[in-house]
């Protein structure tokens, strides 16, 4: 998958947003692998000739849509900001989770494409967010410091990735996931032997 061609980037921001919104809706409705490129560009009011000035093909349009969804999710979550203490750290993590869950519930197209969007570039866009979270938790004593930080960030990303898939499945089925189970997993990963927050 390649990024959009330069002509797409030169379109007015409103027109780009409109094309991405129509495309996002179609990919969400029919699935990333099944949505028809011709029907998407027709719904977006783009001729076939113009479409090939914007994208090399269907996969490149899908890549643009997924990148847009990923950016929408990252904006909804917001950057990790340092907490004052361990209690504020956990509260901030819960607030971020609630905010992202509310966004997904309020934007069903993003919910339908969230898993594919999160997997772009192997999840590299999220790595910085989790690195900031882990560093802050370690500073506050909420996260263990006896392991290499890079290993701990990678393990955290893996656990959160698995939890996200579980939560997305629940949300798609109309259920709110029990986040206490996720916190329990994270406390087990992040805690120290004898840490009262580890269980």
- Which domains are seen in the chain, by residue range? 6-68 (1.10.10.60), 78-190 (no CATH)
The pLDDT value recorded for residue 198 is 43
Asked if residue 6 has pLDDT above 60, the reply is: yes
- Count CB atoms within 10 A of the CB of residue 162: 12
Q: Are 88 and 139 in contact (CB under 8 A)?
A: no
The pLDDT value recorded for residue 38 is 93
Backbone angles phi, psi at 11, to 5 degrees: -65, 155
Backbone angles phi, psi at 54, to 5 degrees: -100, -35
Average of per-residue pLDDT values in the chain: 88
The pLDDT value recorded for residue 1 is 66
CA dist 165 and 172 (Å) reads 10
Tens digits of residue pLDDT in 105-121: 899 999 999 989 988 87
Asked if residue 149 has pLDDT above 50, the reply is: yes
Tens digits of residue pLDDT in 59-104: 999 999 999 999 999 999 999 999 999 999 999 999 998 898 889 9
The pLDDT value recorded for residue 196 is 45
The pLDDT value recorded for residue 75 is 93
Tens digits of residue pLDDT in 11-48: 899 999 999 999 999 999 999 999 999 999 999 999 98
CA dist 199 and 156 (Å) reads 17
The pLDDT value recorded for residue 9 is 87
Give 20: exposed, middle or buried? Use CB within 10 Å, 0-12, 13-18, 19+.
Answer: buried
Taking residues 127-145, what's their average pLDDT? 94
3-state secondary structure the chain: CCCCCHHHHHCCHHHHHHHHHHHHHHHHHHCCCCCCHHHHHHHCCCCHHHHHHHCCCHHHHHHHHHHHHHHHHHHHHCCCCCCCCHHHHHHHHHHHHHHHHHHHHHCHHHHHHHHHHHCHHHHHHHHHHHHHHHHHHHHHCCCCCCCCHHHHHHHHHHHHHHHHHHHHHHHHCCCCCCHHHHHHHHHHHHCCCCCCCCC
- Would you say the C-alpha torsion 55, 56, 57, 63 has a positive or negative sign? negative
Q: Which two structure tokens, joined as six digits, stand for 57?
A: 């093909």
CA dist 197 and 199 (Å) reads 6
Q: Highest mean pLDDT range out of 8-22, 158-172, 179-193? A: 8-22
């Amino acid at each position: 998958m390649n990024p959009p061609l330069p002509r797409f980037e030169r379109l007015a921001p409103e027109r780009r947003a409109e094309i991405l919104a129509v495309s996002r809706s179609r990919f969400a409705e029919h699935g990333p692998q099944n949505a028809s490129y011709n029907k998407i560009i027709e719904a977006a009011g783009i001729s076939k000739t113009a479409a090939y000035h914007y994208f090399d093909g269907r996969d490149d349009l899908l890549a643009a849509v997924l990148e847009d969804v990923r950016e929408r999710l990252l904006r909804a979550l917001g950057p990790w900001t340092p907490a004052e203490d361990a209690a504020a750290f956990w509260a901030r993590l819960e607030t971020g989770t609630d905010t992202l869950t509310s966004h997904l519930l309020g934007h069903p197209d993003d919910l339908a494409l969230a898993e594919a969007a999160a997997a772009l570039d192997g999840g590299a866009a999220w790595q910085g967010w989790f690195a900031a979270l882990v560093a802050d938790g370690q500073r506050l004593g909420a996260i263990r410091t006896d392991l290499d930080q890079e290993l701990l960030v990678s393990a955290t990303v893996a656990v959160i990735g698995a939890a996200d898939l579980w939560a997305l499945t629940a949300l798609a089925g109309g259920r709110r996931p029990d986040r206490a189970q996720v916190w329990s997993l994270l406390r087990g990963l992040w805690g120290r032997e004898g840490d009262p927050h580890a269980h």
